[in-house]
Chains A and B, each alone.
Chain A
Amino acid sequence: MKKLITTTVILSAMFLLAACGNSSSNGEPLQVYTHNDSEEMDAMVQDIEENTGVQLDVLRLSSGEGWSRIQAEAPEIGADMQIGMLHGFGIKAEEEGYLLPYQSEEWEDVPDKFKQEDGEWYGTSFWYNLIAVNEDIIKEKGLDVPQSWEDLLDPQYKGEIVLPDPGTSGTAFLAVSTIMQLMGEEEGWKYFEELDSNVAQYTKSGTAPAQMVAQGEYAIGVTWDQAVYDYIEQGYPITDVIPSEGVGYSLDVAWIFENTDQPEKAKKVMDYLGTKDFMELSAEYRSMVTKPGVTDDSGIEESFIDYDAQWDADNRDRIMKKWQDKFSD
């Protein structure tokens, strides 16, 4: 008898819980996709919730992963908003008609080149490729510190280079696209074929190489700026190398999906992303933000190549298809 009662209690608890589950999945919080690292996004979410009163539910996906998910889900995309994505995907999403245009007043003083003219996407910060080098390993193994993209081909680095996989990582795609734009496509492919024999591992995320190099797993990693600076700041034996040929940079953009059922909340969040408060928080995690007067970005811009984000958007599918054919064998 006792057992029967316990069973009934458990069963009724289940139905209660199930009922709660249904009501909470009706979607009060704003659903957000991001490619930002978990640590950064956690701080941002907290800040946004405190200042706008809008609750966020976040799913982190590497940029390539996120984009293929968006494409597969369209037109019923499973989120209201994207906070943090590659510039090139912003342009593609705009071309595909996935985005809800919104002119936000908070974004007025941000230069026009960092936002779409109809307000379909807004750039919050920008970032660029860097090479992370572990000084201890370099010394121990008697290697030279590479100074350029070209140097990475040197056979002395065999098995010491970590590269993210451009299929999933935006960081890696930026590097691939940079090389293609610098050298031309044909030379670019030759470059990566040669580089492949030095690469020890392709990682899924673009931040992972920085961490691996910081931990001393490998000597050299192709990654992005803030990932390296974070570890330098924490006292790891790594340095950053800006390749002498120059680096590509990408805008990190945010947008509202066209199919959102909570546009008012999303707009409120978009407004907040353009405020000085948010930009200052963002600047703690990024070396440069788009709002004038928050970060000092005078020095680095000389190393930027004349990067063409439209080229990204136009050629990504083709380049990636070829990449998979070449390097998946």
Chain B
Amino acid sequence: MSTETTKQSRTARLVSDLRQFWSEPWFAILTMVLAGAILLFIVVPVFAVLLKSFGMNENGFTLDYYQEFFSRTYYFDAIINSLSASILSTIIVVFLSVSISLYVTRSSSFVSKFYRGAALLPLVAPPFIFSLSLIILFGRNGVITNIMNHAIGVEFSIYGFWGVVISQVLGYFPIGYMLVESTMRNMSPSLEHASSDLGASQWKTLRKITLPLSQSGITKAGLLVFVMALADFSNPLIIGGGKPFLASEAYLLVVGQQNLEQAAVLGVFLIIPSLIIFIFQTYFLKDSGLETISGESGASNAPLSRKVKSTVMTINTIFVAFIILMFVMVILGAFVKIIGINNTFTLEHFKNRNGWDSLYTSVFVSFIAAILAATIGMLQGYLFARKPIPGKKVLEFLTLFGLAVPGTVMGIGYVLIFNGPPFFLTGTVLLIVLNMTFRKIGVGLEASISKMHQIDSSMEEASSDLGSGPYRTFGKIIVPLLSPAFIAGFVYTFMTAMVSISSVIFLIAPGTNLAAVYILNLAEQARVGMASAMSFILIVIVLSCMGLLKYIEKKTGVSI
């Protein structure tokens, strides 16, 4: 009896929701278009990979490819290598993030600003660029290797597992760092003050108060870095020395043998951990309740005591110096014949027409993808926050899931879906733009939703009371208010699109080659000079775009 009534009331609510949903037909249509696009460009490709791993074709299901997967120690090694490299990279990144955040959030000196900037620098470079620098420095004939060989007579090689770990730490550090830093910055200092007032040493305060309070940010950072490191395929390719890793093996199976089925199986094993982590993060991490403590108290964090500071600073300085060294190697590599061997100055690496073409394509494609992703994210955020949309929780979940899907899997999925009828989008710029857009709209969406929750609906009500229709209200009230979220989505998508590689590498064609893919190709040919030169230009472009945005921010007062 009682279940029936709840059922009835539930149906009644659904009906009234639907009626309200249709009361603003343009928004309703927009929502449906968005939902369709999310399904087509995020969900369908992932399912295509899943189905392909079972060999879906005329002959129906088969478990052959899974059998093949489990019968080879080679693939098992790939899983072990991928997982252990990602776990190690994550631990190191988290450790370093905490160390640098501790210093940066408690000091406003020039040094701390400089450290912060240097720590974020890897964001603007393709993630595999550190592999190249590491080989220049620590390869078998690297600059540092030689010194060490002569000094202590130990011969070591950076190729292999540890090379991958170090490159991943450098490449994915900024992502983890940003999350940890923002948690620590938003933390109320009063508890720390209380702890020290009660006589606890700073070490104890850090251990008992600061770290537990930042726990949710640290966990989030760790999970995100883990997912990204797991999906990393370019570093194993360059510095892995032939050791198997899941993402790079999946890529090689596709380009070397067109064995899409086997690649799909590897893709499934890539996506399972990502999915688990994503669900864990969405449903179990959010309500940790620790954020309630955060608030603006006005007081600043206690500065570090000398003892803590010296420890933290030693670690920070070594790491920041290392990052800068990596970038210096890239720049030097771009301007000399072959770094370490023939150090005469040259500009010949920059005379590279195909390289410049690919840079142009990258800027063009990333710009459009960034605008699309930011616009869609903003619209979606508004609709989800204010409109009664049936199934919006599911849609939100799916959109954010797009961020977590490993690029290799998404790329293979796009190949499976869009290469044939009815789409025939292979080799078009459009397909690359769509891929970049839909993988990243989650960022704009999250920013918009949280912004919308901060904005009271009274302004919209005022606008409609004064006679504006819903669309006019949206244009006059919501869009201006959401512009910070728009810009956040734009910046993130543009930066990541410029250096993204794992997914789009499957989608390029003559004339639509992208800079990051082209640089990876040069690295495969061991053309270190040309690869460094193109990376240098890419970094300069991304940095100047960021500079331009900062300038606009200052001019318009819109915070970025």
Give the B-binding residues of A (Cβ under 8 A).
1-4, 6-7, 10-11, 14, 17-18, 21-22, 24-25, 27, 29, 31-33, 37-39, 41-42, 45-46, 57-62, 64-65, 68-69, 71-73, 76, 78-79, 165, 167-168, 200-205, 207-208, 211-212, 214-218, 234-236, 320, 324, 328-329
Contact = CB atoms under 8 A, between A and B. Distances in A.
Contacts of B340: 215
Contacts of A212: 526
A17 B366 CA distance: 12
Contacts of B364: 17, 21
B367 A17 contact: yes
B352 A6 contact: no
A42 B237 contact: no
Contacts of B419: 72-73
Contact of B354 (A14, A17, A45, A320): A45
Interface residues of B, number: 63
Contacts of B355: 38
A260 to B, nearest CB: 12
B118 to A, nearest CB: 28
A38 B352 contact: yes
Nearest to A159: B157
Contacts of A38: 352, 354-355, 521-522, 525, 527, 530
Contacts of B338: 214-215
A89 to B, nearest CB: 14
A237 B353 CA distance: 30
Contact of A211 (B73, B428, B525): B525
Nearest to A211: B526
Given A38-B527, A215-B340, A73 B513 contact: no
Given A31-B511, A58-B510, A216 B353 contact: no
Contact of A205 (B426, B525, B556): B525
A214 B430 CA distance: 41
B72 A328 contact: yes
Interface in B474-508: 475-476, 479-480, 483, 486, 508
Given A78-B509, A201-B159, A236-B341, A68 B74 contact: no
Contact of A59 (B429, B509, B530): B509
Given A58-B354, A208-B525, A18 B475 contact: no
Contacts of B140: 216-218
Contact of A79 (B353, B367, B510, B521): B510
B296 to A, nearest CB: 25
Interface in B327-368: 337-338, 340-342, 351-355, 357, 364, 367-368
B256 A25 contact: no
B342 A4 contact: no
Contact of B368 (A18, A41, A208): A18
B293 interface: no
Given A37-B525, A168-B255, A329-B73, A14 B372 contact: yes
14 contacts: A14-B371, A17-B364, A32-B510, A37-B527, A38-B521, A38-B530, A59-B513, A60-B354, A62-B524, A71-B258, A76-B424, A215-B139, A215-B141, A216-B140
B256 A329 contact: no
B353 A45 contact: yes
Closest 7 CB pairs of A and B: A57-B511, A216-B141, A211-B526, A31-B510, A59-B510, A57-B510, A208-B526
Contacts of B168: none
A168 B135 CA distance: 22
B427 interface: yes
B290 interface: no
Contacts of A65: 255-256
A79 B510 CA distance: 7
A214 B530 CA distance: 16
Given A4-B480, A57-B511, A59-B513, A214 B73 contact: no
A60 B252 CA distance: 16
Interface string B528-559: 10100000000000000000000000001010
A17 B257 contact: no
B368 A7 contact: no
Contacts of A45: 353-354
A214 B141 CA distance: 10
A21 B475 CA distance: 28
B241 interface: yes
Given A68-B256, A208-B525, A33 B353 contact: no
A78 B426 contact: yes
A76 B522 CA distance: 28
B76 to A, nearest CB: 11
Contacts of A208: 524-526
A75 B301 CA distance: 66
Contacts of B479: 3-4, 7
Nearest to B237: A204
Contacts of B522: 38
A42 B352 contact: yes
Given A25-B428, A205-B524, A215-B526, 4 more contacts: A3-B480, A4-B479, A38-B352, A217-B141
Q: Which of B258, B430, B476 has the most CB of A within 10 A?
A: B258
Nearest to B552: A6
Contacts of B368: 14, 17-18, 21
A3 B558 CA distance: 8
Nearest to A57: B511
Contacts of B235: none
A236 to B, nearest CB: 7
B72 A329 contact: yes
Nearest to B483: A3
A25 B513 contact: no
A168 B256 contact: yes
B316 interface: no
B257 A217 contact: no
Given A167-B252, A329-B73, A42 B353 contact: yes
Interface string B49-85: 0000000000000000000000011100000000000
A200 B241 CA distance: 8
Nearest to A20: B364
Nearest to B142: A217
B105 interface: no
B202 interface: no
Given A208-B525, A328-B72, A78 B352 contact: no
Contact of A3 (B257, B258, B556): B556
Contacts of B135: 217
A201 B241 contact: yes
A214 B527 CA distance: 12
Contacts of B512: 25
B524 A203 contact: yes
Nearest to B433: A21
B196 to A, nearest CB: 44
A38 B531 CA distance: 11
Nearest to A37: B525
Contact of A39 (B159, B375, B527): B527
B496 to A, nearest CB: 18
B434 to A, nearest CB: 12
Contacts of B424: 76
B242 interface: yes
Nearest to A33: B510
A202 B248 CA distance: 14
Contact of B429 (A21, A32, A64, A72): A21
Contacts of B372: 14
Contacts of B353: 42, 45-46
Interface in B434-468: none
Contact of B486 (A7, A217, A324): A7
Contacts of B525: 37-38, 205, 207-208, 211
Contacts of A3: 479-480, 483, 556, 558
Nearest to A207: B525
